[in-house]
Structure formats: C-alpha cells, structure tokens
Amino acid sequence: MTDVPAVTANEAGSLTVRDNRTGSEYEVPITDGTIKAADLGKIRVSEEEPGLAVYDPGFVNTASCRSAVTFIDGDKGILEYRGYPIEQLAEKSNFLEVAYLLIHGELPTKEQYDNWEHEITYHTFVHENVKTFMQGFRYDAHPMGMMMASVGALSTFYPDARNIGDPDNRHMQMVRMIAKMPTLGAWSFRHAQGKPYIYPDNDLGYTANFLSMLFKMSEKKFEADPRLVKALDVLFILHADHEQNCSTNAVRSVGSSQVDPYSAVAAGVGALYGPLHGGANEAVLRMLRRIGKKENIPAFIEGVKAGNEKLMGFGHRVYKNFDPRATIIKKACDDVFEVTGVNPLLEIAKELEKIALEDEYFVKRKLYPNVDFYSGLIYEAFQFPPEMFTVLFAIGRTPGWLAQWLELVQDKEQKIARPKQIYTGDRQLDFVPASERWK
C-alpha cells in the first residue's frame, strides 16, 4: 500500500496531504466537514499539469452549496424544513404556509400569511394565450411534458423575470409560479381527457381549487370532500423540498447561468420527469397489481431475495432507518380511503410491508418503505392516471425549487455550474476531407 498518499486529519481542522508523486506536503483546511475542491487544485506535479481534481459522478460525496432550507439525517429518519420537523408541519400547517416558510425562512405572522394567500390566489389565472399554447399539444401528450413546456413558456409572458437582481421582481415571479402550477397541472390532465379546461375558482383554497380545476364538470361549484383536500395538501407538504436532489440540482445548475426562474424551474420539471426520480410510485402500483393477492406475497418476497427483482417503494439512498414521509402517508391513506372506499391493493401493500419488515434480508440491508410505497395508492384513489403522479410531485416541489433558487441567486459564493471532466478521447488527429475518406 505504499502508493496510498498519507492523509491525516489533525485537530486544528485541516488535512495534511502528501503527494507521493512529488513528495510535497500540503495543508488543506477543513470547514464544516468539507475541504474546498479548489484547494486540492493547488496539488500539482508541475506548473504545466492541471491540479488534482475530484472524480464524483452523481455528486455522491460532493457538496455543491451551503443551504439553510432543508435538513435531512438519513440514519435517524429526520426531515426538517427551515428547522421544523416534517411531522409537525404535515399535521399542523398547510401547504401555502409551508411554501411561505421555505421561501422566506420563517413562519408568517397572520398579516403576512393573509397577504401571501391573497397574492397566490390572485395570480392563479394564466394568460389566455397559455391556454391556446397548451391546446396545441397532441391529444395524447404526456402531462409532464406539457407542464415542463408551459412553465418554460411563462418566461415569454413575463420577460421582466430575467431581472433576477431585483428582490421585488423575484418575489413576483415566485408568487406567480406557485399560483399557476396547479392551473398548468390541471389543464394538462384535462387535455389528456379531452375535457374543457376549468378556470381557477378563487373562492377556494389552494388545494381545493386545484381539485376543482381537475374534476369540475357541469356543476356550478366543485367542492371536494375536505378530507381529500387535506390529504392532498399533506402530500404537497411532504414533497415540498428534499435538499439537493436531482431536480433541485437541475434548477440550481440552470439558475446559476442567471437565467429567469421559469426556465430554471422548467429544468427541474424535466429532471423530475425521469423514472429514477419521480416515477417509483407508479412501479409500486404495477408491482402490487402483479402480486394480485396476499397468498402470492411469500413467493414474491423469495424472488426479491433471490435477486430477481426489487421490492419497489423500499429502500432509499439517504434514509437508512425509516423515511419519515412514509409514516405520514400511510396515515393519509386511511383518511382518503375512508372517503373513496378501500383500494384492494392497500391490503396487499400493508401485508407486504409487514412481512418485509420482519424479514432478515430487508432488516440487514436497512430497507424500509419510502415515500413512494403508499403515495401511488392515494393518487390512484383520487383517480389520477399514473402519468399525473409526477405532475402532482412537481406542484408540491415548486416552493422548494424556488427557495433553493432564491438562495442560489443571493449566495455570493455561487458561480456558474461548470464541472470538470476527465477527457478520455483522441487527441490531435489529422482531418481527412470526405472527398478523400469516401474514395
């Protein structure tokens, strides 16, 4: 092991690094449990050679920012927004208040909340041309693609949004986006069904209005059961932020070019569209349907343990004890099914969870139900088709994206995102014109 460089942490909060290529030693300061990649760049063999860099595909062990928005302790199953535990927010707050908290950093006074609610409600309508734009999509367009395109298109309706240095302007765009996302999401749903788009009903609260835009037909007013409104509101809260996940990183990365926030959030919607990020709950439903009845569970579990497939909705990159969101969702399931009638898949899900949690294979690997294990069942109870699941996620995540974007544009340490690469291609080839190559 002689070629392993000597790296020792000392009490003064620094690393002493010896570069065995040159024998030189470097003192690298440690701050907040991290070292600066730029400090490693000073370690070099010669002035002509590039400095040492870190190779970290997927940013598995790289901090890209300082953030005061969301705290996660995966081992202990802790999730906090601005220091407040998710359990308390889900039980005692509502989505608009949580959105305020994420963006402003503290809970609103009564006056601040009333203003915030008024502002958001006031901006739920979109320009009629947005409607025409959305109607231009093919009849079978995926609602997430429609959502991504229409959020991006909002930047053309509000060209002043590019003035990101002005705090009032930033505030206005954030209000608009939180207000209009349910309108865009509901219309993308109606589009796929060939039903007329429903305008916002500003007498209703945020989530109740969303349900009205989704499901209203010829009735004068659509008022969903308050238990359903509450359950969906809780789901929005649970999805509102999750620190530096793939879509948030996309928002920050695109936002770092100082583009307007609509374009940055459209990038976040795009990232969320991918099956590795927003799509696991749909896979859970497919799995439960395939299992079909409780008697088939043991054979299914054996197949998972034999490595034939995964138990979808179990396991998490960060949570290795339990996913606090899963516990809250399980409770919301009961509330929703009280209204809609029980989905027979719920019984299979609960039994599957019980068996897996007692099984050595899952216990040893610290595999617990994650947020997606039960969320698909709830969405299905609302009669959402699976394509809508990520749209709901995007509406919930919007305040988080915006809070992170706001933090980014105010952070003096941030620069345009521009990772390094390790070049593995050819060099200095001589170009042969087509006329000679194709002879």
Ligand X SMILES: CC(C)(COP(=O)(O)OP(=O)(O)OC[C@H]1O[C@@H](n2cnc3c(N)ncnc32)[C@H](O)[C@@H]1OP(=O)(O)O)[C@@H](O)C(=O)NCCC(=O)NCCS
Binding interface with ligand X (CB under 6 A): 280, 304, 310-317, 365, 367, 370-372
Looking at beta carbons only, is 58 or 159 nearer to ligand X?
Answer: 58
Minimal CB distance to ligand X: which residue? Answer: 315
Looking at beta carbons only, is 211 or 328 nearer to ligand X?
Answer: 328
| Active-site option among 277, 335, 359, 411 | 277
Instruction: Tell me how far, at minimum, the Cβ of 278 lies from ligand X, in Å.
Output: 9
Looking at beta carbons only, is 237 or 311 nearer to ligand X?
Answer: 311
Instruction: Tell me how far, at minimum, the Cβ of 365 lies from ligand X, in Å.
Output: 4
In the chain, the N- to C-terminal Cα span, in Å, equals 54
| Active-site option among 191, 239, 242, 316 | 316
Instruction: Tell me how far, at minimum, the Cβ of 394 lies from ligand X, in Å.
Output: 15
Give the chain's radius of gyration (CA, Å).
Answer: 25
- Give the number of C-alpha atoms closer than 13 A to the C-alpha of residue 416, restricted to the C-beta side: 4
Nearest by Cα to 133 from 116, 152, 115:
152
Q: 24-29 and 70-73: which strand pairing?
A: unpaired
Instruction: Tell me how far, at minimum, the Cβ of 174 lies from ligand X, in Å.
Output: 26
Looking at beta carbons only, is 142 or 320 nearer to ligand X?
Answer: 320
Q: Count CB neighbours of 396 within 10 A.
A: 23
Contact between 120 and 367 under an 8 Å Cβ cutoff? The reply is: no
Looking at beta carbons only, is 166 or 302 nearer to ligand X?
Answer: 302
Looking at beta carbons only, is 140 or 358 nearer to ligand X?
Answer: 358
Tally: H helices and E strands in the chain = 19, 6
Any catalytic annotation for residue 323?
A: no
Looking at beta carbons only, is 228 or 346 nearer to ligand X?
Answer: 346
Looking at beta carbons only, is 17 or 304 nearer to ligand X?
Answer: 304
Please tell me what DSSP assigns to residue 388: G
Contact between 200 and 178 under an 8 Å Cβ cutoff? The reply is: no
| Active-site option among 233, 260, 323, 372 | 372
Distance CA 51, CA 70 (A): 33
Any catalytic annotation for residue 118?
A: no
Please tell me what DSSP assigns to residue 426: -
Token match 């349910």: residue? Answer: 182
Region of 332 please: left (phi>0), alpha (psi -120 to 50) or beta.
alpha
Give how far Cα 222 sits from Cα of 99, 212, 234, Å: 25, 5, 20
Instruction: Tell me how far, at minimum, the Cβ of 254 lies from ligand X, in Å.
Output: 23
Q: 78-81 and 70-73: which strand pairing?
A: antiparallel
Phi, psi (degrees; rounded to nearest 5) at 219: -65, 155
Instruction: Tell me how far, at minimum, the Cβ of 74 lies from ligand X, in Å.
Output: 10
H or E, element range at 8: strand 7-10
Distance CA 353, CA 367 (A): 10
Instruction: Tell me how far, at minimum, the Cβ of 265 lies from ligand X, in Å.
Output: 21
Please tell me what DSSP assigns to residue 296: G
Question: Residues with Cβ < 8 Å from 418, sequence gap 6 or more?
Answer: none
Instruction: Tell me how far, at minimum, the Cβ of 318 lies from ligand X, in Å.
Output: 8
Phi, psi (degrees; rounded to nearest 5) at 370: -105, -175
Any catalytic annotation for residue 372?
A: yes
Catalytic residue list = 277, 316, 372
